[in-house]
Amino acid sequence: MDRLSNTVRPYAWGSTTAIPELLGVAPTGEPQAEMWMGTHPGAPSRVTRAERTGEGTAEQIALSDVIAAEPERELGTAAAKKFGPRLPFLLKILAAGAPLSLQVHPNLAQAKEGYAAEESAGVPIDAPHRNYKDANHKPELICALTPFEGLCGFRAPLEAADAIATLDVDSLKPYVDLLHAHPEEAALREVLTAVLTADPVEMRETVTAAAAAAERLGGAYAPYATLAHHFPGDPGVIAAMLLNYVQLQPGEALFLGAGVPHAYLSGLGVEIMANSDNVLRCGLTPKHVDVPELLRIVRFEAGDPGVLRPEASPEGEELYETPIDEFRLSRYVLAEGAAPRTLPSGTPQILLCTGGRIRAGELTLSPGESAFVPAGESAELSGTGTLFRATVAA
């Protein structure tokens, strides 16, 4: 088992205080948006292993290099064969101090097709208009550590129509009429297409008027006024009104599958995702929005966002069920005086403490601290607090 050293990413939307408070350190004054745990090439975790130097002295090594050197030892034979010589997931602490972009992720077939097409066309991997950075999909799950706000999936068109109509903005009335059309999927597609392809000057005026109305109405409209404050004139403000607004309480989670439009608005959470950088944006961003490609991969299905609550096992593991193999997120909540828990073995694991002090094997983890457990090792948990376990489907 290895204690992880992790990188904090200072994206502009990050909270300046949430991650420092979790870690028990002083804020730096700059946004601290995400702390990454895993083998993503952008910021792989690091471990200290004396045997890697060949001289018996310790040095820090990227976890990605450790795994690549002996993938079957670190990941287990099954995971190494299925996913290759790296962890197939990225675990994060995410701290949203301001809204993130409205976005959607492709499924695996779409990602492979899109990546191949852009490679064939010679689009540079770092080009701002490039959609597919790799050939993988990016399902993800966010679990709230504090009250957490987000947008997830389309709400019923008639519900969206009523909400937009209440703003009483003349330029929004054609969208209200479209949302009353049938079938519902076609109505949602038409409205999102109309919003994202509208004349920019006219849309800016519409968003300004809608924001003023949302400010006056308050209550359920307050989030849209906030979005307009951060993204003045952005069509994503209107697109956001088509989506379910979700408030998670600590311990609740959302699973974001392929084609589901979503945005995180505020709060601190544990996020896990398949290793990919494929994001198509729908708005709430100055970055490139490829409307035709976006419309190709969005799932125009209205429904409940499906808030997840963990299912407890007799062994004390509380699992967040998801339909994919690349990751499996669970947690252990250890009360004072509780009997030690033995972690399952056989798959690679990242352990993350988010509260209290947890003894995991030979390591003691405080909030924000994490460890990597190779597939062949088992560990016993003791102490008092909360620990998240990230692994792959067995």
Listed as own residue / partner, the contacts of 209-218 with beta carbons closer than 8 Å and 24 or more positions apart are: 209/167, 209/169, 209/171, 210/167, 210/169, 210/172, 210/237, 210/238, 211/237, 213/167, 213/168, 213/169, 214/167, 217/166, 217/167
Question: Token digits for 194?
Answer: 């109309």
Residues 97, 15: contact at Cβ < 8 Å?
yes
Residues 305, 246: contact at Cβ < 8 Å?
yes
Between the two ends of the chain, the Cα-to-Cα distance in Å is 19
Candidates 205, 202, 218, 201; CA nearest to 167 is: 218
Candidates 335, 336, 366; CA nearest to 351 is: 366
Question: How many C-beta atoms surround the C-beta of residue 223 within 10 A?
Answer: 21
- Region label for 21, one of left (φ > 0), alpha (ψ between -120 and 50) or beta (otherwise): alpha
Place of tokens 């398949």: 274
One of 3, 46, 86, 281 is an active-site residue; which one?
281
Question: Token digits for 259?
Answer: 């084609």
Q: What is the DSSP letter of 86?
A: S
Catalytic residue check, 389: no
Residues 6+ apart with CB under 8 A from 116: 135
* Type of residue found at 342: T
Separation CA 79–CA 347 (nearest Å): 7
Q: What is the DSSP string of 103-131?
A: EE---HHHHHHHHHHHHHTT--TT-TT--
Separation CA 150–CA 223 (nearest Å): 10
Residues 375, 347: contact at Cβ < 8 Å?
yes
Catalytically active residues are 281
